[in-house]
Structure 1
Amino acid sequence: SSSELSCLLWQIEAEVQRRKQLISQSVERKGIISERYQRKHPQVYVLQDSFLAPAFLEVVRYCTSPGAHLQGLLRYLESFSDKRIYRLPVFTEEFCQTFVDELENFEQSDMPKGRPNTMNNYGVLLNELGMDETFITPLREKYLQPITALLYPDLGGASLDSHKAFVVKYSLHQDLDLSSHYDNAEITLNVSLGKDFTEGNLYFGDFNQDPSPVPQYIEVEHVGAQGLLHRGGQIHGALPIASGERWNLVVWMRSSAIRNQLCPMCHRKPQLVEAEGFGDGFTHPLQDEVPETVDVCSLW
């Protein structure tokens, strides 16, 4: 009916306006946090080799060595089925404990808090906390990209030029689980930070651009201080936690060289709206094809 159509159009317009306001609201929150928040563990805001597991550093050394290749890298990783999902150590247990303590300190403060997405009600956007430039960007550029270049060359693994990083929290009286979805990313890193919990395994289905008539799902359990690398388009979710509290670091890594051709969310040629910061990882190419700004797709 015409009234139902009008209601639908109103909802669409409201969602468009909400998304347009997200970036300006985030910038405002980041400014307030930078001025007023008292950090409990200021050392965790700057990435150091001592935060990283020795086995992870060994993987990076291999990937940056002459003649490194995929089969050699796979000897260092745990692989799951044929879905191109890999587990590897990332951080030390000590760092994870200190990092979670810092996150809890922030959660208990009166600072404004932007949530990671519409599916997670509890968590922290790390760019608002001031961790992008000094922690996540060097983690992506110096340590993760040599690995993803070998694992995911077809997804821009060697040309990851932006990211969105956040921490999510699950507990019995907050978010219990996460329904099936795929990420706005070419490649995702998901690291289990702790604390003590039971159940809540991740599950993975098909790649969203290559679905099968009968999807085959696998379950993967969380291992403290270890991370899972997977394709952003891999359909996945989290089963309900049974006890305790679980924190995970999630880094959506993006390659403008890939997503400029096709938006991974609407599966169309992106129509861009300029945005501050990394936006959704798209770029406006100059005449010589060098990215100038990073924007968001207005179609999604």
Structure 2
Amino acid sequence: MTNKEDGNRQFYICNCFTTDNIFLEDYKIHVRFLSEQQFRLDYQTLLMRLGCVTDQQFEDVFNKISQEVDRRRRLGVTSAERAAAIKDTYRPLHPHVYHLQESYLAPKFKQIIEYCRSSDISEEGLGDLLQEEAAPRVYRFPVFEKSFCEELVEELEHFEQSSAPKGRPNTMNHYGILLNELGFDEGFLTPLRELYLHPLASLLYPDCGGRGLDSHKAFVVKYDMNEDLELSYHYDNAEVTLNVSLGKDFTEGNLYFGDMRQVPLSETECSEVEHRVTEGLLHRGQHMHGALPISSGQRWNLIIWMRASHERNKLCPMCNRRPTLVEGEGFADGFTKHPEAALNHSCVLT
């Protein structure tokens, strides 16, 4: 795997990746860790209120943070090693699903994108084709044919059952698959982003980087009665996110959306949005959201975090500071060394 993508452009991560937004699952909070002294000053009162009161409990917290920081520091190397091992040892069940074909796409989705590519477009015309949910600027539309979703899930299950090494999406999702390591980027995800999602995001989110999406991170998450049931309230490390329900059979587990990340939860009314197999939900990455527990069955979701370097080069969405760049693998976290290409606007609250 190379650290150059998208026409030999090099992408970077922000140095805050090893210090910020560390999720403490036992207490359902994200924290920043620079030192034990800083951590105690910032979080000791909150953690005690959440039930972390003994020395042993604090020691457990520090151990988990230390393990997560170490994992993040080694992530680029370990991810590249996993991808190489998967390529050498894993034999796909359905090799064709790794290469995007128009026949995989829902007719309504192709109609929407064709309209976005046309010269005669209007907000009203696009509104006739897209369904906006109760949450503002969250759009629902069919993305894939059901037969493709079924084959993709079969492929993912086949991989899960194999002996190939597996990396998990993040600290909040323990069951899922990083699709770049499995080989989906070049033939499937990049053309999906460039040819289909970019024209749509350009019209819907011009103020949030939608016109300049030049990289992505894609993964699949799995919810099961014996595994992860839900996802805590959070925002994505992305300018625009697409979340597609692939299956299988499940009940409940709706998404819920609050306000943008700058608005405290105490000042927010959340809106529920139903997951429907084959359909995608498109939203701004900085729009706070979570997933309610499923009550039966199993659900697989395809998540595509789409990034615009001209936006994030100005301000890292994870630490709210100008990014300090560190080399990464592949698309890394979507930062580049070309701040002069930045546009003069940022994602705004509406």
> Considering the TM-score relative to the shorter chain, is it more than 0.5?
yes
CA 1:76–1:24 in structure 2 vs 1: closer, same or farther (change >3 Å)?
same
Secondary structure of the residue aligned to 1:56 is helix
TM-superposition CA deviations, 1:8-64 (whole Å, max 9, x none): 797677654431211111000000000110100000000000000011000010000
**After the TM superposition, which parts of structure 1 deviate over 3 Å for at least 4 consecutive aligned residues?**
6-17, 210-213
Secondary structure of the residue aligned to 2:277 is coil
Match of 1:128 in 2: 181
Kindly report which structure 2 residues correspond to 1:231-250, keeping only aligned pairs within 5 A, or say none.
231-250=284-303
Counterpart pick for 1:284 among 314, 337, 348: 337
Contact 1:203 1:237 in 2 (8 A): yes
TM-superposition CA deviations, 1:184-205 (whole Å, max 9, x none): 0000000000000000111111
Contact 2:106 2:142 in 1 (8 A): yes
Which amino acid in the other structure matches residue 299 of structure 2? R
**CA distance, structure 2, for counterparts of residue 266 and residue 157 of structure 1:** 21
Counterpart pick for 1:5 among 37, 60, 67: 37
**CA distance, structure 2, for counterparts of residue 262 and residue 6 of structure 1:** 23
Kindly report which structure 2 residues correspond to 1:182-201, keeping only aligned pairs within 5 A, or say none.
182-201=235-254
Cα RMSD, aligned residues only:
2.1
How many residues are matched? 287
Contact 2:175 2:221 in 1 (8 A): yes
Secondary structure of the residue aligned to 1:164 is strand
Secondary structure of the residue aligned to 1:75 is helix
The answer to whether residue 151 in structure 2 is matched with residue 98 in structure 1 is: yes
The answer to whether residue 169 in structure 2 is matched with residue 137 in structure 1 is: no
Contact 1:171 1:245 in 2 (8 A): yes
Instruction: Give how far 1:272 is off.
Output: 0.7
**CA distance, structure 2, for counterparts of residue 198 and residue 209 of structure 1:** 32
Secondary structure of the residue aligned to 1:237 is strand
Secondary structure of the residue aligned to 2:320 is coil
Match of 1:34 in 2: 87
Match of 1:109 in 2: 162
**CA distance, structure 2, for counterparts of residue 179 and residue 87 of structure 1:** 21
The percent of aligned pairs where both chains have the same amino acid is 59
Which amino acid in the other structure matches residue 55 of structure 1? K
Contact 2:135 2:258 in 1 (8 A): no
Match of 1:181 in 2: 234
Match of 2:109 in 1: 56
Which amino acid in the other structure matches residue 5 of structure 1? Q
Segments of structure 1 that go 5 or more residues without pairing to the other structure are 291-300
Secondary structure of the residue aligned to 2:129 is coil
**CA distance, structure 2, for counterparts of residue 129 and residue 31 of structure 1:** 9
**CA distance, structure 2, for counterparts of residue 138 and residue 99 of structure 1:** 17
Which amino acid in the other structure matches residue 230 of structure 1? H
Secondary structure of the residue aligned to 1:81 is coil
* TM-score in terms of structure 1 length: 0.91
Match of 1:216 in 2: 269
Match of 1:295 in 2: none
Contact 2:169 2:219 in 1 (8 A): yes
**CA distance, structure 2, for counterparts of residue 4 and residue 25 of structure 1:** 27
Instruction: Give how far 1:140 is off.
Output: 0.2
The answer to whether residue 282 in structure 2 is matched with residue 229 in structure 1 is: yes
TM-superposition CA deviations, 1:85-133 (whole Å, max 9, x none): 0001100000000000000000011111000000000000000000001
Counterpart pick for 2:219 among 158, 161, 166: 166
Instruction: Give how far 1:75 is off.
Output: 1.2
Contact 1:188 1:232 in 2 (8 A): yes
Counterpart pick for 2:73 among 12, 16, 20: 20
Contact 2:134 2:272 in 1 (8 A): no
Which amino acid in the other structure matches residue 109 of structure 1? S
